[in-house]
Amino acid sequence: MLQRKSELLMPAGNLRKLKIAVLYGADAVYLGTPDMSLRTKSEFSLEEVVEGVEFCHQHGKRAYLTLNLFSHNKDVPKLDEYIETVRMVKPDGLIISDPGVFQYVKQHAPELPLHISTQSNVCSYLTVDFWKQQGADLVVLAREVSYPELVEIRDKCQDIKLEAFVHGSMCMTYSGRCLLSNFMAERGANQGNCANSCRWNYKVQMRLKDGTIQALDINDNNLDMFEFLLEEGCRPGDLMPIEEDGRGSYILNSRDLCLMPELDSYLKIGVDSLKVEGRGKSEYYVAVVARAYRQAIDDYYADPENWDHRKYMAELETVGNRGYTKAFHDGRLTNYGHDYEHTATIAQWEYAAVVSEVTEDAFLVDVKNKLEAGEVLEFVSPISRETVLLRLYEFEEAETGKIKEVVHGASKHRVRIPFSLFDQEDLAKLKANFPAFTVLRKEKALNEEQWCRIKFDKLVQNLEAAGKRDDKNYGVKRDALASAIAKDTNVKRFRTNRVGVEGCCGKGCNGCLIFWQAPEYERARKVLHKRKQGEQLSKQEAKTLHDVELGILEESETAKALAAE
């Protein structure tokens, strides 16, 4: 088998996201205009496509353009202009799903490398070989392809590039070929305008004899009186139960694809391109997901024997998700691949700000979500693996110099963060490691329902990654989530006490006056000063040293070892 090195392929929904993807480690990006690329919300004009491809090439990266719509007659006249522009841009590949469009491009621009989209439902080596014979350079395999199938395809199809999805949203369709959105909202999923009807909350209604329609309220008092069964016309008597309660049912809601636990297997067999879904997702999503997979891929090639997916999963969990699943990796899906209780994307962190400019004495950052005095911002470097935490007690407006205790992302605030606040950092490294487009995040307060969802998701993720079942624990966590949803409380709390001017997590953030001045953190400060630049104490280390200092905990061997560093 040929030795192949996999590329990391990231989505680019607009020009800024493209630049962020490249900055955070993408080997290649895919992009397109809204009318021709299955993303009506894509924010690229043809001129910006040209600029984006040039930016990639200037940075030694590849750019693939999407032309993967299923064409209607109205789309054909646009092809000439599109192809002429594309020829001038000289992308590294053109992603196509429609055989007619494929043939058109092959005839009118034979020099363009052609990639077969996942929309073409390629699930076998027979189909891969067919497209190779037609002149395709790369085939994107369907998400339904299991890993054993992928191994066989790779073995039988050595002389064509293969691409596989490793991360992103999943929908209840065959490779994205969906008509549900058309029926429910008159928005064509196969034309790039999906309404996400599969994520909606569905309830059972009943029609009374007088013609009125009422919601059927199922509760503890009448639960045993009803049983709902589905009978398919060709299989009379084969009754399938439909389970629903008063909260409704998300019967079509899939968790998000995440193959990080199996990434080493994909790298081992040499999948040419590892694709991340998400052209409609945020800059923060693009940055953090690219960063996690970049580190994971690089670490595998550096030391495959000791590669461990868990530290990269921790980073991916800071991005909003519906819970992670390996989906069809093992072939047959289990109930772990779906979430029947809750459809929202959740994370313990949120996009706080992005560096817009690095001046001689400060960062200028654009605020993305509400920031309050006392909050800790985490600078997520695209260059260094170490992040930097900074606790801010006030915010200086960049244009006016006005000081505020609260700033809002919706108001498009730009704030100035002086380098003088980073008194625990080397300023030369700080400037080098956190250039323009660096994203900042902060912890997010969640209600009890959301915290239960996160615990449930974590359990499911770990069970699936380990190939185990734990129906008892699964039931406990699921029931806790159902109970929290039923209570419908909106009281929110943070994971740690890292908000407000009185609290301190003890990890040693830059700008945390409590940590750097209060006597109860004296031992922790001494340990941290011996650590490498930018490294934080773990939560457990911080708590141990704090409790020993206050006499709450006797000095253990662990605490002595920390103090002796």
Q: How confident is residue 529, by pLDDT bands cut at 50, 70 and 90?
A: confident
Would you say the C-alpha torsion 334, 340, 345, 348 has a positive or negative sign?
A: negative
pLDDT digits (tens, 9 = 90+) for 149-177: 999 999 999 999 999 999 998 776 655 55
On the question of pLDDT at 193 being above 70, the answer is no
Q: pLDDT at position 250, please?
A: 46
- Burial state string for 119-144 with b = 16 or more CB within 10 A and e = fewer than 16: bbbbbbbebbbebbeeebbbbbbbbb
Residue type, 61: K
Share of the chain above pLDDT 90, in %: 51
Query: DSSP string of 358-389?
Result: E-SSEEEEEE-S-EETTPEEEEE-SS-S--EE
Q: What is the mean pLDDT of residues 241-258?
A: 60
Share of the chain above pLDDT 70, in %: 78
Helix axes 125-134, 147-156, angle to 10 degrees: 40
Q: pLDDT at position 507, please?
A: 83
- Other CB atoms within a 10 A radius of the CB of residue 431 amount to 15
Q: How confident is residue 255, by pLDDT bands cut at 50, 70 and 90?
A: confident
pLDDT digits (tens, 9 = 90+) for 404-424: 999 998 778 999 999 999 988
Q: How confident is residue 247, by pLDDT bands cut at 50, 70 and 90?
A: very low
Give the chain's domains with CATH numbers: 7-165+270-279 (3.20.20.70), 205-249 (no CATH), 349-443 (2.40.30.10), 518-563 (no CATH)
The better pLDDT of the pair 63, 144 is held by 63
The better pLDDT of the pair 209, 490 is held by 490
Assess contact for 398 and 409: CB atoms under 8 A.
no
State how far the alpha carbon of 394 is from the alpha carbons of 213, 373, 404, in Å: 55, 5, 6
pLDDT digits (tens, 9 = 90+) for 305-318: 999 999 999 999 99
Assess contact for 83 and 107: CB atoms under 8 A.
no
On the question of pLDDT at 53 being above 80, the answer is yes
Strand partners, 172: none
State how far the alpha carbon of 514 is from the alpha carbons of 1, 501, 508, 555, in Å: 58, 9, 9, 23
Assess contact for 501 and 393: CB atoms under 8 A.
yes
- Other CB atoms within a 10 A radius of the CB of residue 237 amount to 5
> What's the mean pLDDT when you consider all of the chain?
84
Query: DSSP string of 419-478?
Result: GGG-TTS-HHHHHHHS-TT-EEEEE--EEHHHHHHHHHHHHHHHHHHHT---HHHHHHHH
Q: What is the mean pLDDT of residues 54-76?
A: 91
Q: Which of 275, 113, 74, 17 is nearest to 191 (CA)?
A: 74
380 is written with which tokens? 């997520």
CA 241, chain centre distance (Å)? 34
Assess contact for 545 and 506: CB atoms under 8 A.
yes
Poorest-confidence range of 101-110, 135-144, 356-365, 474-483? 474-483
d(CA 488, CA 470): 27
pLDDT digits (tens, 9 = 90+) for 66-106: 988 888 898 888 888 888 888 888 899 999 999 999 999 99
310 secondary structure, DSSP code: H
On the question of pLDDT at 519 being above 60, the answer is yes
Q: How confident is residue 487, by pLDDT bands cut at 50, 70 and 90?
A: confident
d(CA 91, CA 463): 42
